[in-house]
C-alpha cells in the first residue's frame, strides 16, 4: 500500500473515537463464568429495547393465549428464571407462545421469552425445552446482545477510519482493500465473538436447567435431534454458531459440573414427552 495514498488524520481520529467508545463503555463481569467484557448500554436501556422488540414481535404474530403447551412453557421458564439467581433477579420475565412453523425461540434483554410452536416437535419433552430456554435466557443474563452492539460499533469505527484514509487511492484498489478488511473483520472478529457467546450460553444454560431440576443429559439428545433436522451446515468458520458436533462436544465437557448441580437440586416432576 503506497504511503502517499494514505491520509493519517482520519486514522488518528478513528483511533481516538475507537478508544473513547471502548473505555467509556460499561464493564460487565459474568456472574457465572467470571468473564470480563464491555457492553454498549445500561441494563435499563437493554430492557427498554427488549420490551420494544417483544411488543413488535407480538404485534406481527399469532399468539397462543391458553392451552397446555403455553402452560408447560411458562412452567419451564419459571423454573429456569429462578435458577438464574442474581443474574436474572431484576428481569421482568414474560413468556409468549407464537403459532409458527419456524424452529425458533429467543429471550430478549430484560426477560421477554418467545417460543415458536415449530420447535416443540423437536424438543419433545420438558428437559429438552429447558435446554432451549436455558440457552436463550443465558444470552440475556450474559448481556451478549449489548456486547455484540459494542463490537459492531467498534468494527464500524475502524473500517470508516480506514475508508476515509484511503480516499485518494484508486477506486478499484480502495474497493479491494476495504473488501478484504471487511471480510477479515466479519470472519476473523465478529463471527468468532458470536460463536464464543453461543458456547458461553450453552454452558450457562446447562447449569440453569440442572439447577431447575431438569436432567442436563437431555441437552445432548436435543442437539442430536437438531442436527438430524437441520440438514447440511456451512463450515464452522463461516457461521456465527458452532457446528452441532462442536456444540455437543462442548456440552459433554461441561456435563460433570452440570450433573453436580442437578444432583443437588430438587428434580422436576415432568412427563416423558410433550
- The grid coordinates of residue 38 equal 464491555
Which of 80, 19, 72 shows the shortest CA–CA distance to 261? 80
R_g of the chain computed on alpha carbons: 21
Separation CA 143–CA 46 (nearest Å): 8
Please state the separation of Cα 179 from the chain's center in Å. 27
Q: Exactly one of 46, 136, 151, 200 is catalytic; which is it? A: 136
Separation CA 120–CA 68 (nearest Å): 12
Phi, psi dihedral angles at 165 (to 5 degrees):
-70, -20
Which residue, chain included where needed, has cell 397462543?
64
Give the residues across from 113 on adjacent strands.
95, 107
Q: What is the DSSP code string of 139-184? A: HHHTTHHHHHHHHHHHHHHHHHHHHHHTTTS-HHHHHHHHHHHHHH
Phi, psi dihedral angles at 93 (to 5 degrees):
-70, 130
- The grid coordinates of residue 31 equal 456472574
Q: Is 261 a catalytic residue?
A: no
Q: Please identify every residue annotated as catalytic.
A: 136
Amino acid at each position: 500500500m503506497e504511503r502517499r495514498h494514505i491520509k493519517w488524520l482520519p486514522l488518528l481520529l478513528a483511533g481516538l473515537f475507537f478508544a473513547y467508545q471502548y473505555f467509556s463503555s460499561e464493564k460487565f463481569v459474568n456472574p457465572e463464568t467470571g468473564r470480563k467484557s464491555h457492553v454498549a448500554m445500561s441494563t435499563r436501556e437493554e430492557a427498554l429495547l427488549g420490551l420494544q422488540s417483544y411488543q413488535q414481535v407480538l404485534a406481527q404474530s399469532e399468539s397462543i393465549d391458553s392451552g397446555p403447551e403455553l402452560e408447560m412453557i411458562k412452567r419451564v421458564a419459571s423454573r429456569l428464571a429462578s435458577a438464574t439467581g442474581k443474574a436474572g433477579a431484576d428481569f421482568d420475565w414474560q413468556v409468549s407462545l407464537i403459532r409458527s412453523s419456524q424452529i425458533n425461540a429467543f429471550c430478549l434483554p430484560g426477560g421477554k421469552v418467545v417460543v415458536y410452536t415449530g420447535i416443540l416437535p423437536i424438543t419433545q419433552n420438558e428437559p429438552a425445552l429447558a435446554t432451549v430456554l436455558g440457552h436463550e435466557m443465558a444470552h440475556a443474563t450474559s448481556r451478549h446482545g449489548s456486547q455484540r452492539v459494542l463490537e459492531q460499533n467498534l468494527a464500524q469505527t475502524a473500517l470508516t477510519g480506514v475508508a476515509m484514509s484511503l480516499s485518494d487511492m484508486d477506486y478499484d484498489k480502495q474497493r479491494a482493500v476495504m473488501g478484504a478488511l471487511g471480510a477479515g473483520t466479519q470472519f476473523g472478529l465478529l463471527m468468532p465473538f458470536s460463536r464464543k457467546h453461543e458456547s458461553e450460553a450453552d454452558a450457562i444454560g446447562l447449569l440453569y436447567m440442572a439447577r431447575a431440576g431438569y436432567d442436563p443429559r437431555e441437552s445432548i439428545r436435543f442437539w442430536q435431534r437438531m442436527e438430524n433436522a437441520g440438514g447440511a451446515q456451512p463450515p464452522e468458520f463461516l457461521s456465527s454458531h458452532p457446528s452441532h458436533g462442536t456444540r455437543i462436544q462442548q456440552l459433554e465437557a461441561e456435563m460433570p459440573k452440570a450433573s453436580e448441580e442437578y444432583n443437588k437440586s430438587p428434580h422436576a416432576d415432568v412427563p416423558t414427552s410433550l
